[in-house]
Structure 1
Amino acid sequence: MNELALRDYVKEYGQDKTAKAIRVTQGAISKALRDGRNIILSHTENGIKAIEIKPFPRTKK
């Protein structure tokens, strides 16, 4: 795996394993998915790295 969207990673590994891999709670994963956040996961030498892509400057909803 080079890079995967959070949603795709969760489909493959489940919310609990994903949460443990990036050191957050399962609830944080669930909320990120529910909110439609654009989070990309990639393998690094130190494990899994999560990066969120969002617009700059941020516009309020």
Structure 2
Amino acid sequence: MRRVHITVFAQEFGQCEAAALLKMTQGALSKAIRRGRDIYVTLHVDGSCTAEEVRSFPSQNPTKNQLAEAIAI
């Protein structure tokens, strides 16, 4: 069993194959990488792959008003 960041996983297998292994589209994988999401892929000994995202709790995206207030400060 091996755990790697999604960017490393995509570099090793290529985005198309990596997405297929994770049962997602290549576009969704590309967007996750572009956004810098903190996702780790676990490669299991049976050849299967699972992925999980590490996020802070609570993990709410700031609203437009909160962003505007932060910029104004």
- TM-score, scaled relative to structure 2: 0.75
Listed as ranges, the gaps of 5+ residues in structure 1 are none
1:1-20 correspondence to structure 2 within 5 Å: 2-20=2-20
| Structure 1 residue matching 2:58: 3-state secondary structure | coil
The structure, 1 or 2, with the larger RCO (C-alpha pairs under 8 Å, 6+ apart) is 1
1:37-52 correspondence to structure 2 within 5 Å: 37-44=37-44, 45=46, 47-52=48-53
**CA radius of gyration, larger in:** 2
In the alignment, does 2:26 pair up with 1:26?
A: yes
- TM-score, scaled relative to structure 1: 0.88
Q: What is the identity percentage for the equivalent residue pairs of Structure 1 and Structure 2?
A: 33
Return structure 1 stretches of 4+ with deviation > 3 angstroms. none
Listed as ranges, the gaps of 5+ residues in structure 2 are 63-73
Q: Point out the structure with the larger helix share.
A: 2
RMSD: 1.5
Deviation at 1:58, TM superposition (A): 1.2
